Structure 1
Amino acid sequence: MEALCFEYSPTPLFGTTPCHSMFQKTKTLTINKAAKSHKNQLSNITATLTNQKVEIFHRASHLNSHKKTKLPKPSHIPQLMRVPAESLVYESGFLGVVPKKLAGESHNHNHNYKDINYLNEILLSKVYDVAVETPLEYASKLSEKLDVHIWLKREDLQPGVFSFKLRRAYNMMAKLSREQLRKGVICCSAGNHAQGVALSAQKLGVDAVVAMPTTTPEIKLKTVERLGATVVLVGESYAEAQEYAKHRAKEEGRTFVPGFDHPDIIAGQGTVGMEIVRQLHAPLHAIFVPVGGGGLIAGIAAYVKSVCPEVKIIGVEPYDANSMALSLYHGQRIVLDKMGNFAEGVAIEEVGEETFRLCRELIDGVILVSHDAICASIKDMFDEKRSILEPAGALAIAGAKAYCKYHGLQGENVVAVTSGANMNFNKLRLVSQLADVGRQHEPEAVFSTIVPQKREKLEQFSGLVCDQLSIENEILCRFVIPDRPGVLMKLLNAFNGRWTMNLFHYQGQGESGGNVLMGLQVVSSEMDEFKALADTLGCDYAFETSNKALQLLLH
């Protein structure tokens, strides 16, 4: 299986399957493409083909659990390709994945949803019993900066939950029978969907249980509890929480309310597209939508493509959580073997079956953006409206900015869906640090050295090229660890007493985990032992010994 990567590649870490690495042979080719700009110039995209080993993913039969919450072995184990997020990377702004329009073909083996009239279901949706029609606001500062007209669909203003996910939960739950409502509902969520289910249950007088990953931000967990739902923390990912919720639904007769993969869920979210078409009285070029499991973009596309087929529907995903882009690229649903959790609202290992079918038929492509670009967009929103979005909530703005710059768009109307404002306060420091980086047009570097206090020495330094500095037998190794109690101590204990530690530095990255930089005295004959031990820790890691800038800073 080959993976296609365009231009940009994240820093490689051991424990992942990076596109570009000193340990991997690659071959390069150049693709000419017509840039979609007013000048229609040809530009070159450098792509790298790497041989990626495709693994078959089996659902875990037992999962790490919180307290006494356990997940039984499922009776049916689906198999999906397991693919690294790094296997599909292209320049931000470029529509790297343009789906094939296969309206007559369905890969949905569990349900027959092909005959659903989504336009009718959206028009008859019951979401307005509890949700409101959110405003479509003009972003004057961003529009002036980019020379386009950017409109913000303010789903972060939904009452009670500050997210569009209230629409989908209520639309499905309001259609349940009295008997189903009596037995209660259950869902799995990293936050916003849970709040939507909890508020909908409160409105309908239904008992609700919410399974949440142990990495869920506290602000979302506390909100769900305040709305009256029972919270169960289980597993470290959405997939693990979903496994538990589905099993408990069968055991207790509860109705499982999925986060995205159901016609009623999709139709509820499609009302966002209906409102955009009704609110914007001008030609519309594109709507940018954040993508997690695909429910929001599938619903918006189902409505907008029915009434305004010329409007582009473009998904936006982070580089490290690109399950929809990879699924569209491979022509089938895949599961990410690892993914980033910075934008936890869209951190989904695999997209839905029905959402994938609709996206493959209806959307126009997927934009990929970096964490820096997301943080810059959070700052843009604050400057524009004095509102603070969560990372997933600012995703569409980042995608819209990248697309407009890349394609040289001018004077067009584009809409970005601001999908949520449930920001964890502790993450604001990291967002502030990365926001300025994301706004830089050119990379910024900091140089450090020690120069004798003599005029001629300073003059010599102006033309000096610094050779690599190193200390004999010392290695620098960077680890990326999850944000869980005990993980840092486990890392320290693993190396304690085996090698002398000259350096230790830790910087937390919020829910994304933390970076640990360690300097250890390891002789060459012990390197295999060091790598074997590092591999057992389950953390991504990379050697920084040859990092010249870091060596200068430290020594």
Structure 2
Amino acid sequence: MATNYLKKILSARVYDVARETELQLAPELTKRLGNHVLLKREDNQPVFSFKLRGAYNKMAHLSPEAIKRGVIAASAGNHAQGVALSAAKMKCKAVIVMPVTTPSLKIDAVRARGGSWVEIILHGESYSDAFKHSELLGKKRGLTFVHPFDDPDVIAGQGTIAQEIFSQHQEPIDAIFVAIGGGGLISGIGEYTKAVSPKTKVIGVQASDSDAMNQSLKAGKRIEMKDVGLFSDGTAVKLVGKETFRICKKVVDEIVTVDTDEICAAINDVFTDTRSILEPAGALAIAGMKKYVQKKRIQKKTLVAVACGANMNFSRLRFVAERADVGEFREAVFAVTIPEERGSFKRFCQLLGKRNVTEFNYRIGDQSEAHIFVGVSTQKAGDSEAISKHFRKAKFATIDLTHDELAKSHLRHMVGGHSVLAKDELLYRFEFPERPGALMKFLTSMAPNWNISLFHYRNHGADYGRILVGIQVPKNEQKKFQVFLEKLAYPHWDESNNPAYRLFLK
């Protein structure tokens, strides 16, 4: 028998711990986008995330016997805090399994929410590891598992957000934009929305490197991703839920995917309008709404975006600020080759006209030409392509690096470095877990005759670090190197043929 989600949402118990959050006008976004933009401020919940609703509703519907035995959950952040606060409120023992890579900030937050009612266990390097361990431990101890998204009571709890939206705004709503990880939030919002306002579009938003639901809906079956991006860690789910997938097939009208730069720009947009700082997953809906408006060229519509979380590490803000301009099309970056002769530099600068130069890196290459890494202020999408044509028309060889991850994360900080000594060099980007021993694991796994010829690391205040490594591997040991990569099991990308690398470092 199918679940009556409208009934479950209307009878959900969330307000013992959650609050009705504001549906707030975003004046600057409204002005820029030419649409009436409203933000549903779930970042203002006591745990700075919507997750509290579903966790508490699930626990509130458990039998007294189940509450007495206790509950268990797996989470690396927001869901854990929701379960912890709910456990303290209901005086219920809760075991929360978190990956060993979880930052101490989040562990301390969970402990503070739950106090003596919460037992924290650190296990595995990923959410998947923690989830599997929690299932085994729950069966062994007889604890009830509180799923972060694939549970009818959790879904109904999240659906109360839509109930509030429609009670707060009596006029027609054209579309609601919702972040998707495992699918619990959009399933609850979608069920309620389609029941009370079928014409309102429900549009999901996913990070382009963590779009399991998008891939699943296109394939008509659940697709498990091998790896997911970690920037939007709150939505980094490899496999969506069975129930959430079933619901999304009928209630989601469209899914928009956005990249890291677009998420950073959305964080900046919300700060401009509210002076609040969202976490990457919390800003997904806003980023997707902006992209949808641009793509569909819609005007004078009423759009709601769910700002679903604000558990942001402060140290991550420097990365967000750096990338927001690119995501907002306010900066473009290029590799430009100019003749190594008097007057060529001045001629190049004259081409820039009144555009503001945001970055300029130069190192002499040889006697005939020089390679320049330059950042330029832009006004809108498509400007970088126009500027590239402008440079090429003046006979300057140009590569547009605006969407090149290697250039934006690493090369802009280390331009200049050709070396005749770097024979047989392979260039790889890695994501290391941000914990002691990660680098030593990398170094000790390498063959002793391989030499590190380049190493660049920047801490972004996230659960992982971005590393660029040049390794000299003899050509007859290429297969051995591939085995090393598989055993290491860190996310990695081969950048050996990247054109920016060949210009500036090769």
TM-score by length of 2: 0.81
Partner of 2:438: 487
Distance between the aligned counterparts of 1:305 and 1:171, measured in 2? Answer: 21
Contact 2:425 2:453 in 1 (8 A): no
Distance between the aligned counterparts of 2:8 and 2:470, measured in 1? Answer: 60
Partner of 2:495: 544
Query: For the structure 1 residues 466 and 330, does the alpha-carbon distance in structure 2 shift closer, same or farther, using more than 3 Å as the test?
Result: closer
Match of 1:222 among 92, 100, 108: 108
> Residue 464 of structure 1: CA displacement?
5.0
> Residue 304 of structure 1: CA displacement?
1.0
Contact 1:451 1:458 in 2 (8 A): no
Structure 2 residue 147 is matched with structure 1 residue 196: no
Query: For the structure 1 residues 500 and 377, does the alpha-carbon distance in structure 2 shift closer, same or farther, using more than 3 Å as the test?
Result: same
Distance between the aligned counterparts of 2:429 and 2:248, measured in 1? Answer: 36
Structure 2 residue 428 is matched with structure 1 residue 478: yes
Distance between the aligned counterparts of 1:244 and 1:500, measured in 2? Answer: 38
> Residues 223-238 of structure 1 correspond to what in structure 2 (within 5 A)?
223-227=109-113, 228=115, 229-238=118-127
> Residue 490 of structure 1: CA displacement?
2.6
Partner of 1:58: none
Structure 2 residue 266 is matched with structure 1 residue 377: yes
Structure 2 residue 388 is matched with structure 1 residue 438: no
Which runs of 5 or more structure 2 residues have no equivalent in the other structure? 348-367, 370-393, 400-417
Query: For the structure 1 residues 231 and 521, does the alpha-carbon distance in structure 2 shift closer, same or farther, using more than 3 Å as the test?
Result: closer
Query: For the structure 1 residues 416 and 521, does the alpha-carbon distance in structure 2 shift closer, same or farther, using more than 3 Å as the test?
Result: same
Distance between the aligned counterparts of 2:186 and 2:22, measured in 1? Answer: 18
Contact 2:70 2:94 in 1 (8 A): yes
- The answer to which of 509-518 and 306-315 deviates more is 509-518
Which runs of 5 or more structure 1 residues have no equivalent in the other structure? 1-113
Query: For the structure 1 residues 507 and 357, does the alpha-carbon distance in structure 2 shift closer, same or farther, using more than 3 Å as the test?
Result: same
Residue type at the aligned position of 2:484: L
Match of 2:151 among 244, 255, 262: 262
Structure 2 residue 239 is matched with structure 1 residue 288: no
Partner of 1:358: 247
Residue type at the aligned position of 2:182: G
RMSD value, Cα: 2.5
SS at match of 2:453: strand
> Residues 140-539 of structure 1 correspond to what in structure 2 (within 5 A)?
140-159=27-46, 161-227=47-113, 228=115, 229-440=118-329, 443-447=332-336, 451-452=340-341, 454-455=342-343, 463-465=395-397, 471=420, 473-483=423-433, 484-495=435-446, 497-511=448-462, 513-539=464-490
Partner of 1:52: none
SS at match of 2:298: coil
Contact 1:168 1:268 in 2 (8 A): yes
Partner of 1:126: 13
Residue type at the aligned position of 2:93: D
Distance between the aligned counterparts of 1:355 and 1:530, measured in 2? Answer: 40
SS at match of 1:327: helix
> Residue 417 of structure 1: CA displacement?
0.3
Q: Which has the higher helix share?
A: 2
Query: For the structure 1 residues 262 and 530, does the alpha-carbon distance in structure 2 shift closer, same or farther, using more than 3 Å as the test?
Result: closer
SS at match of 1:492: helix
SS at match of 1:478: strand
Residue type at the aligned position of 2:324: A
SS at match of 1:444: strand
Query: For the structure 1 residues 491 and 143, does the alpha-carbon distance in structure 2 shift closer, same or farther, using more than 3 Å as the test?
Result: same
- The answer to which of 517-526 and 200-209 deviates more is 517-526
Residue type at the aligned position of 2:184: G
TM-score by length of 1: 0.74
Distance between the aligned counterparts of 1:374 and 1:347, measured in 2? Answer: 14
- The answer to which of 236-245 and 259-268 deviates more is 236-245
Identity %: 46
> Residue 465 of structure 1: CA displacement?
3.9
Distance between the aligned counterparts of 1:243 and 1:540, measured in 2? Answer: 21
Contact 1:218 1:424 in 2 (8 A): no
Deviations 1:15-64 (A, max 9, x none): xxxxxxxxxxxxxxxxxxxxxxxxxxxxxxxxxxxxxxxxxxxxxxxxxx
Contact 2:182 2:239 in 1 (8 A): yes
Structure 2 residue 504 is matched with structure 1 residue 553: yes
Distance between the aligned counterparts of 1:188 and 1:283, measured in 2? Answer: 38
Deviations 1:66-118 (A, max 9, x none): xxxxxxxxxxxxxxxxxxxxxxxxxxxxxxxxxxxxxxxxxxxxxxxx43221
Residue type at the aligned position of 1:402: K
Residue type at the aligned position of 1:181: I
Match of 2:2 among 100, 115, 120: 115
Query: For the structure 1 residues 332 and 473, does the alpha-carbon distance in structure 2 shift closer, same or farther, using more than 3 Å as the test?
Result: same
Distance between the aligned counterparts of 2:142 and 2:474, measured in 1? Answer: 60
Structure with more contact order per residue of length (Cα contacts < 8 Å, sep ≥ 6):
1
Contact 1:481 1:487 in 2 (8 A): no
Query: For the structure 1 residues 141 and 547, does the alpha-carbon distance in structure 2 shift closer, same or farther, using more than 3 Å as the test?
Result: same
